[in-house]
Amino acid sequence: MRIGELAERAGVSTRTLRYYESRGLLPARRAVNGYRVYDEEDLCLVTQIRALQEFGFGLDETRPFVECLQAGYPSGDSCPASLDGYRQKIAELDALIGQLQSVRDQVNTQLVRAEAELPGGPEPRCEMRG
């Protein structure tokens, strides 16, 4: 298939596919007429990359999964390096969750303090006039 068909089937732009090619994630094969040509395995590669990016993986972090597919494994997460990639991403997400929980706790502490300092409770924001 040509680049336009791959882009349409994968739900990405041709520019994205050229970028993946420039980063070494997608093979750069050309027909005798000079057009880029792709096959179903390339569609699988692009689909894997996009799915991982939706999970928050950076493009470089998708490389072990792509290499696993290119080595002939049935899925991109069939290799030890891919499993390590998942573990690293989970550790990164756990750290971010911890940071967000800490910020939430600080904001909640400020809210409780501010509410306690209000004389007689919160003041009305607007009054109805009759």
Q: Where are the domains of the chain?
A: 3-116
Overall pTM > 0.75:
yes
The greatest distance separating any two alpha carbons of the chain, rounded to the nearest whole angstrom, comes to: 84
Greater confidence (120 vs 116) lies with: 116
Dihedral of the alpha carbons of 102, 106, 108, 110, in degrees to the nearest 10: 180
- Kindly state the tokens that stand for 8: 């349409």
Q: Is the pLDDT of residue 29 over 80?
A: yes
Residues 6+ apart with CB under 8 A from 46: 6, 10, 12, 17, 20, 26
Q: Which amino acid is located at 75 in the chain?
A: S
Please report the pLDDT score of residue 4 as a whole number: 95
What confidence score (pLDDT) does residue 61 get? 97
Contact 45, 26 (CB under 8 A): yes
Q: Which residues contact 74 (CB under 8 A, 6 or more apart)?
A: none
The CATH code for residues 3-116 is: 1.10.1660.10
Strand, helix or coil for residue 37: strand
SS3 state of residue 119: coil
